């Protein structure tokens, strides 16, 4: 769908905004980053003396009519041109009112721009490398144990140092020969270590936080890593084994639950009885349906979703038995877990797909994962070099001295002093003064628990990266036509939504006096054909309607509580025959009758048949609001045409027609 809205439908514009919010990045996938055309710009028309380029119009027409080759003709192009002129008139009005200067607009537009720039910022080779590394890890599983000393990511330096020294002391005891499992049970702050000696079993990529994963894969079998920091704290990772990845498996299971007031011994005897029947030839599906107490799977043969090593780490007995099966159709002996007694049957083994099959989805996953921070740090170094970032160390030092405790409250204010105009750093030889950094801090600071100096430095690094993005933005706007056009689409699309909401949509839905006047002047448009005064009852099952029919026959009063209790929906009103599909299937006469349609059961009670005639204002209102909206919009456009002169360039139009009809 286009992000340039030319339709008169309110739903289009609402959907446009949703698409802008949710799919901004996906819109860029097909963009090739074309270089700016060297041809002299051609104007197709102007609004209020503001030129609209032919290339912009051609770009949008091709984008919005992709795959509709039959519409690359003079008639359709001129129709679109008329719509586009109307669009530009509305945008010009919004611009003249200053709607592009509001805080709301600026925040929304900059949000889109930030997302729009992102695909142009990363070094693709770096992302490819990170994706390939991750895939290579997916081909291997690591069995490891760990010792954890907790410390929050934003802990004070003294708390961080205390945790680090504690993990170092444990490492020294390991180096001196003490047992890892014993130390894990004694010192690890992972609660499970008390029972499992820190053992995590086998896992693969994405199943642990990234720094932990990296430490496990880079540590040799039988060795213990140096302390590694994650968002949970400091870890020591002991690698016990590495093996070829087993991929995923799909299994079915039969469950007899234990716990609460259930007899454990009775459950054990029952599962072994079922196992004997299975060995005796009784079908697996029949046994599941009859005995399994997993209500969500018993009717489909106990089938579970495919899972890989580590996904069932909280139920190690289940994972071990499932992965221990060799051939599809094999089933395990009964075994017990915290949930009860199981028998597991292997359905299929799913090996790790080839890299080219996973590459696209894996890149997307990598980009959202913690490991992307590694890429971002490398990208930041690359971009600073590319755009000749040069820091004024002495000015930065003076600026950092101004950090104080008000930063922790998000209430820091820039001092009024000579430092403001001094150069903090340069980008492509262009000076960036200190005052711009201070303005950035004022806008972006938030209450925090970091030390003022640390938080101030974080804001500085963020400001540097933001400044580089602005340079990237300027470069893209001047060299990349696709980027420039899409950026303008966002800008004008937001303006259009806001002014349409103000001038048309809100007025059309709330102006009841205007609606009634429009109805009275156009009542012939709202005539209705023959209608039925009817009540339509519907239910998922037939039985509730049988009882309802008995009550209707006895002229009993039907209470809403009765309908709700029996799962019956009721719709009541005046309906034309083609207005509801079920009305086409019943006798068009007073009375009640039952019918089943598309798996839903209906009881239709027709009280009377009304002759063709005019709808009342209330009956017509649904259609009326849409018509009134169009009426208001057309009147408004007449005013805008008088206010803002439109001039079509005949040569530009001829150029556009030639380009588009040839392209079609």
Q: Which two tokens stand for residue 449?
A: 């628990």
pLDDT in tens, 300-311: 999 999 999 888
**Which long-range contacts (C-beta less than 8 Å, at least 24 apart) are formed by 60-65?**
60/2, 60/4, 60/84, 60/485, 60/489, 61/660, 62/660, 62/663, 63/2, 64/2, 64/4, 64/6
Taking 3-state DSSP, the helix, strand and coil percentages for the chain, each rounded to the nearest 5, stand at 55, 20, 30
pLDDT greater than 90 at residue 19 = no
Instruction: List phi, psi (to 5°) of 599.
Output: 80, 0
Q: Quick one: tokens of 221?
A: 């079998």
Whole-angstrom distance, CA of residue 595 vs CA of residue 79: 47
Among candidate residues 92, 51, 86, 84, the one with its CA nearest the CA of residue 660: 84
- The H-assigned helical ranges of 241-370 are 264-279, 284-291, 316-324, 355-368
Q: Is domain 248-350 classified as CATH 3.40.50.2300?
A: no
The predicted pLDDT at position 576 comes to 86
d(CA 339, CA 264): 11
**Domains of the chain, residue spans:** 140-244, 248-350, 530-611
Q: Do domains 248-350 and 530-611 have the same CATH topology?
A: yes
Is domain 140-244 annotated with CATH 3.40.140.10?
no
Lowest mean pLDDT among 46-50, 63-67, 79-83, 167-171: 63-67
pLDDT tens-place string over residues 415-465: 877 899 999 999 999 999 999 999 999 999 999 999 999 999 999 999 999
- Please check whether residue 619 is in contact with residue 519, taking contact to mean a CB–CB distance below 8 angstroms: no
- Lowest mean pLDDT segment, chosen from 135-144, 327-336, 615-624: 615-624
Rounded Cα distance, 459 and 117, in Å: 20
Which one of 3.30.750, 3.30.70, 3.10.50, 1.20.58 gives the CATH number of domain 530-611? 3.10.50
Q: Quick one: how many helices (H) and strands (E) in the chain?
A: 24, 20
pLDDT surpassing 90 at residue 539? yes
**pLDDT at res. 619:** 80
- Distance between CA atoms of 597 and 542, rounded to whole angstroms? 11
pLDDT of residue 403 exceeding 70, the answer is yes
């Amino acid at each position: 769908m286009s992000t340039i809205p030319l339709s008169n439908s309110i739903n289009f514009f609402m959907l446009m905004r949703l698409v802008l919010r949710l799919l901004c990045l996906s819109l860029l996938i097909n963009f090739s980053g074309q270089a700016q055309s060297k041809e002299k710009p051609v104007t197709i028309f102007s609004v209020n003396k503001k030129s609209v380029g032919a290339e912009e119009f051609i770009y949008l027409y091709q984008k919005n009519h992709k795959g509709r080759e039959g519409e690359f003709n003079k008639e359709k192009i001129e129709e679109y041109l008329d719509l586009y002129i109307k669009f530009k008139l509305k945008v010009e009005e919004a611009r003249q009112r200053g709607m592009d200067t509001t805080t709301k607009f600026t925040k929304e537009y900059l949000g889109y721009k930030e997302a729009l720039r992102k695909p142009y910022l990363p070094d693709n080779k770096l992302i490819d490398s990170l994706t390939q590394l991750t895939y290579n890890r997916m081909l291997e599983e690591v069995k490891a144990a760990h010792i954890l000393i907790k410390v929050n990511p934003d802990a004070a330096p003294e708390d961080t140092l205390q945790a680090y020294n504690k993990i170092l002391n444990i490492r020294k005891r390991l180096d001196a020969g003490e047992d890892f499992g014993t130390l894990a049970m004694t010192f690890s702050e992972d609660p499970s270590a008390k029972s499992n000696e820190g053992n995590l079993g086998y896992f693969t990529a994405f199943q642990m936080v990234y720094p932990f994963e990296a430490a496990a894969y880079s540590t040799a079998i039988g060795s213990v890593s140096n302390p590694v920091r994650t968002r949970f704290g400091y870890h020591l990772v002991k690698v016990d084994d590495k093996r070829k990845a087993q991929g995923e498996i799909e299994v079915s299971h039969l469950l007899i639950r234990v716990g609460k007031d259930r007899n454990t011994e009775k459950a054990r005897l029952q599962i072994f009885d079922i196992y004997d029947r299975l060995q005796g030839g009784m079908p697996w599906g029949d046994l599941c349906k009859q005995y399994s107490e997993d209500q969500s799977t018993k009717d489909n043969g106990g089938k579970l979703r495919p899972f890989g090593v580590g996904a069932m780490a909280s139920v190690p007995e289940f994972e071990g038995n499932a992965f221990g099966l060799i051939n599809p159709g094999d089933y395990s002996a009964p075994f017990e877990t915290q949930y009860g007694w199981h028998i597991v049957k292997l359905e299929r083994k799913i090996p790790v797909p080839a890299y080219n099959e996973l590459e696209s989805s894996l890149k997307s996953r990598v980009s959202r994962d913690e490991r992307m921070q590694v890429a971002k740090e490398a990208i930041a170094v690359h971009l600073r070099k590319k755009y000749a970032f040069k820091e004024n160390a002495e000015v930065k030092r003076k600026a950092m001295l101004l950090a104080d405790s008000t930063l922790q409250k998000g209430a820091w204010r820039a001092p009024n002093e000579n430092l403001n105009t001094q150069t903090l750093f340069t980008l492509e030889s262009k000076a960036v003064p200190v005052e711009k950094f201070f303005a950035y801090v004022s806008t972006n600071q938030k209450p925090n628990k970091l030390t003022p100096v640390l938080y101030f430095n974080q804001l500085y690094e963020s400001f540097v990266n933001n400044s580089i993005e602005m340079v990237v933005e300027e470069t893209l706007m001047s060299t990349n036509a696709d980027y420039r056009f899409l950026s303008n689409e966002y800008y004008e699309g937001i303006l259009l939504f806001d002014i349409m909401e103000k001038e048309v949509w809100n007025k059309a839905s709330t102006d009841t006096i205007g609606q009634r006047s429009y109805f009275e002047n156009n009542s012939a448009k709202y005539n209705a054909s023959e209608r039925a005064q009817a009540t339509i009852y519907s239910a998922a099952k037939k039985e509730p309607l049988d009882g309802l029919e008995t009550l209707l026959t006895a002229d009993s009063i039907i209470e809403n509580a009765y309908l709700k209790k029996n799962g019956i929906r009721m719709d009541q009103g005046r309906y034309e025959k083609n207005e509801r599909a079920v009305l086409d299937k019943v006798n068009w006469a007073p009375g009640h009758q039952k019918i089943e349609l598309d798996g839903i059961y209906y009881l239709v009670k027709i009280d009377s048949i009304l002759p063709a005639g005019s709808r009342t204002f209330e009956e017509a209102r649904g259609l009326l609001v849409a018509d009134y909206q169009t009426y208001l919009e057309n009147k408004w456009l007449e005013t805008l045409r008088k206010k803002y002169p439109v001039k079509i360039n005949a040569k530009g139009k001829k150029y556009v027609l030639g380009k588009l009809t040839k392209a079609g």
